Structure 1
């Protein structure tokens, strides 16, 4: 090492440095960075007590060694040898203690402890090894793995993250669909009777069970209401079907679709033979269990994925070297195509230019007077007021069109085209609002003079608020028109809007009616997504390719950019509709799964053929974490109405698995409670014990302790990040110190050369 540096010997100098450089002119040409690197990496050079002892990092870390030198030497020896050392079992340690006459309680306990911990460590390593192998195998067999790798190599991680998110939603809906089919759909399709009317001949049901006359009368009333409901659908939609009527029924969810297993109204209790006895399969309980299990699975997977993304994005918000990170860490090494590489270079250059402009803007902000700030805040207040008016106007328009859809005929005959148009007016209104209003938000935010990241966050927040509020406004208006508008005494078979058989506006199964509206929203979302690509993005790409050099306006508009944030908000909106419809449309997870598959491939074709990546995309780690939070918010917005309906709203007597009940205070959850009362005493006591304060209070305390634990853990990670930043700063201080010492020695060397 001394020869490489040009050292001849060592002596104490006035500066306290124990090195003396050889009087070699070639050393003057040696770079100081090279000298610093050699100094820092030299293990043979004894700097203890001199240069190394004066390093700031050495002084700070001197007494913070985490492990002993002996343990480090043993670990290094095992790594270098690359051999597996079998842990000594307890019986060998026990025999060794006996042979050495060191049998004592303390030594035996230590032998048990060490052998157990070593065995646990070995098993943990084996488990981790097999887990990593299984993970690699699963990734190699993953659906769309090659497609995702192709997108990643062509456009980078940011856009690939969106398609991976769509794939994650595919599997989420696939799992929900499996739960629904296993618990509800397959048992309902496999068991008998095939018609609800046949329950009167079933010996296991109220007529033969010697139950109260009130329950039997309510059963007869449910059968009568069901027959009237079927007669109404036949008269309104016709018993003879043509191609046109079949298509209309398909897109509206009416007619034959209304009485299929797609909607709530088709389900009722089933029976099966067991040891010569007929046993009832309680479809009502199965229905609630399937919905609850779907919500629970969704919640667990969202929380798990959110935690993983929070780990990925931890520490991204703060940076001590903004431009250094972009220059040395901004490149995406997954890119393997020249076109994508050229675009990435432009993106990095644009980001650097934008950051420089942002710094200039910050300097200008510091020179603003209070009059300038009043103008800016006045403009922001005006724009936020305008945004609030747009949001309220959009929601009011949705409510108005929904009310018009329900009241469109008022008991009079209307043309088929007129009726079909008004049945889709609120859904088309929601779709049009979601297409136009977010674009207005993007234009307005420029006048508020926020920095770029803040502009993206504000636009996202406003667009998400509009997207999530649209189906909520639809549900609120349906609730008002179907369940609250009239007096409770006017209910017929649990429906307020029960009118004549030939009245198209008559709603005889409000649950199915709500499911139809959500079904139409999801269907229109699929169609509009395809039409936007075919009728807007593709012609725009064609015009930009052919007429770019001829017209300045075409160059100004440019090609279509792949709007990552809007695309994710759109897919979250579709998932929100799926959760809203779980209670009213059991097969909606299958439709949402089909929607995800269509969106995946349509967006892929649109990206490859028509779009280019955004010039200044939102950061991938930030966006993924934010989108999972938005998904969790949309999940909560869907769970609250479902819980309210199950616990507070009287179900219809004309349809569904809850159509048979003994009094008008019956609610859906009573089906589960009544089923629990039929259990044996022990499981019944356990079930009701779970709902008591003796169980709930300790559970809440445990949850609070877990929350506190993870909060402390998060604070620990934050502290660890701060320590890492301090380490970087100390490395910087060490480098400056060494450079100063080397420059000082060089100056002294040059001075001595001049003296000679």
Structure 2
């Protein structure tokens, strides 16, 4: 039972640990250019990590919402009608807790894998390469510290934290503790075990890519949150929304209980007029920022042209000074020869 409960988290963590190593070894034989090779590797890492979380969420959804008939017949003898009595699978009386447990497991196993990688892979590799002169040590070489891999690791953990926050509010605290340990363990490994990467990486392009990946993780985390709030009935056995048809109903009830003046303000914010005003203001702000960006780009180009002109002027003046100094030396030599004659 213990292995069955923890098997999804173990498989996902091992896949996130082993498959990038396999990708790194196989891409060497695919004969891509260095820049495209880095982009393709990052795309594979991102797809693997986000897809693993998405597959886990879809599997949990199919079990909780009674859309997987095979899972129902295997896990219990309850019929579809019994499963649909409460609007969710009766085998998960506290289904929010089950989803939160899976996110806890992913977070904890991710930390364990990172520590095991530092203590049992990177440190021994450094010792072997340093103190052993065999062919295996020369073939392995020192560990490279790959910034993109480490950043994508953090993005994956942040996505798991976002997904699980609505089900387990203490998960961000656990994630903060996890990343504190992760930071200092990686810092120690970097200082003691690793060497700089052989391939340089442009910070400007990589930052844009990492923000895009982080945005994808945020969008992925929105899907279960929105569906939980407005698409599935909360568990009736536990939780703060027991007895409600949907968690969204709590917000509707709270708004209806507000004073009339505050209710009118909220109605204005939810109206089409406010949406139109917001879109117009956002469009004007976007136009202003685009115009400002273009103006800055023109100023930068002008400054570049001025710097190039200054460089050409300095080169011309240097040639003139050099020619003048040569002419002065030739004149002094002629005067000296005339005096001697």
In the aligned structure 1, how far is the partner of 2:121 from the partner of 2:184? 17
How far apart are residue 622 of structure 1 and its match?
4.3
Q: TM-score, normalised by structure 2?
A: 0.87
Shift of 1:642: 0.9
Map of 2:97 onto structure 1: 512
Moved over 4 A (4+): 486-489, 746-756
Shift of 1:620: 4.1
Residue 748 of structure 1 and its aligned partner are, at CA, apart by 4.7
User: Over aligned residues, Cα RMSD in angstroms?
Assistant: 2.3
Larger radius of gyration: 1
- Confirm whether residue 471 of structure 1 aligns to residue 53 of structure 2: yes
Deviation at 1:751, TM superposition (A): 6.1
Could you tell me how far 1:613 is from its partner in structure 2? 2.8
Of residues 33, 40, 55, the one that matches 1:458 is 40
Equivalent of 1:656, from 236, 239, 260? Answer: 239
Query: What corresponds to 1:422 in structure 2?
Result: 4
Correspondences of 1:246-261 after superposition (within 5 Å): none
Q: Which has the higher contact order (CA 8 A, sep 6+)?
A: 1
Cross-structure match for 2:84? 491
The CA deviation at 1:512 is 1.2
Alignment match of 1:681 (pick from 260, 263, 275): 260
Do the aligned partners of residues 609 and 741 (structure 1) sit closer, same or farther apart at CA in structure 2, a change above 3 Å counting?
A: closer
Match of 1:213 in 2: none
CA contact (8 A) 1:652 1:659 kept: yes
**Shift in Å at residue 574 of structure 1?**
1.1
SS in 1 for 2:226: helix
Shift of the 507–732 alpha-carbon distance from structure 1 to 2, 3 Å rule, reads same
- The alignment partner of 1:527 has SS state of helix
Q: Structure 1 725/454 Cα, relative in aligned 2: closer, same or farther at 3 Å?
A: farther
Is 1:716 paired with 2:298?
Answer: no
Change (3 A) 1:744 1:602: closer
Number of aligned pairs?
324
1:148-163 alignment runs, 5 A limit:
none
TM-superposed CA distance for 1:546, in Å, is: 1.9
| Partner in structure 2 of residue 595 of structure 1 | 178
- Equivalents in 1 of 2:279, 2:329: separation in Å? 74
- Aligned residues of 1:493 and 1:654 also touching (Cα < 8 A): no
- Quote the residue 1:539 is aligned against: 124
C-alpha displacement of 1:558: 1.5
- In the alignment, what sits opposite 1:432? 14
**How far, CA to CA, are the matches of 2:21 and 2:291 in structure 1?**
42
Q: Structure 1 stretch 732-741 or stretch 583-592: which is displaced more?
A: 732-741
Aligned to 2:339: none
1:524 paired to 2:109: yes
1:342-741 to structure 2, matched below 5 A, reads: 419-483=1-65, 484-485=67-68, 490-496=83-89, 498=90, 506-548=91-133, 551-661=134-244, 666-741=245-320
User: Normalising by structure 1, what TM-score?
Assistant: 0.41
Decide whether the 8 Å contact of 1:494 with 1:653 is kept in 2: no
Q: 1:547 and 1:622, CA in 2 relative to 1: closer, same or farther beyond 3 A? A: same
2:72 alignment partner in structure 1: none
Give the Cα separation in 2 of the matches to 1:683 and 1:489: 43
Deviation at 1:580, TM superposition (A): 0.3
| 1:183-230: CA deviation from partner (whole Å, max 9, x where unpaired) | xxxxxxxxxxxxxxxxxxxxxxxxxxxxxxxxxxxxxxxxxxxxxxxx
**Larger proportion of helix:** 2
Q: Following the alignment from structure 1 to structure 2, what is the Cα–Cα distance between the partners of residues 430 and 713?
A: 46
**1:704–1:444 Cα change, 3 Å:** farther
Cα offset for 1:471? 0.6
How is 1:14-33 mapped onto 2 (pairs within 5 angstroms)? none
Question: CA 1:514–1:747 in structure 2 vs 1: closer, same or farther (change >3 Å)?
Answer: same
Is contact 2:104–2:171 with CA below 8 Å preserved after alignment? Answer: yes
Deviation string, structure 1 residues 106-126 (Cα, Å, up to 9, x no partner): xxxxxxxxxxxxxxxxxxxxx
User: CA 1:583–1:449 in structure 2 vs 1: closer, same or farther (change >3 Å)?
Assistant: same
- Structure 2 unaligned spans of 5+: 70-79, 336-341
Change (3 A) 1:608 1:739: closer
Structure 2: distance between partners of 1:688 and 1:583: 26
- State the Cα deviation string for residues 44-69 of structure 1 (Å, max 9, x = none): xxxxxxxxxxxxxxxxxxxxxxxxxx
**Aligned-pair CA distance for 1:633:** 2.5
CA distance in 2 between counterparts of 1:488 and 1:621 reads 56
What is the deviation of 1:683?
0.6
**Distance between the aligned counterparts of 1:439 and 1:588, measured in 2?**
29
Q: In 1, are the aligned partners of 2:111 and 2:178 still within 8 Å (CA)? A: yes
Q: 1:739 to 1:637 in 2, by over 3 A?
A: same
Q: What are the ranges of 5 or more consecutive residues in structure 1 without an aligned counterpart?
A: 1-418, 499-505
What secondary structure does 1:585 align onto? coil
Deviation at 1:746, TM superposition (A): 4.5
1:430 is paired with a residue of what secondary structure? helix
Deviations 1:323-382 (A, max 9, x none): xxxxxxxxxxxxxxxxxxxxxxxxxxxxxxxxxxxxxxxxxxxxxxxxxxxxxxxxxxxx
SS across alignment from 1:655: coil
Report how far residue 493 of structure 1 moved.
3.0
Distance 2:299 2:21 in 1: 42
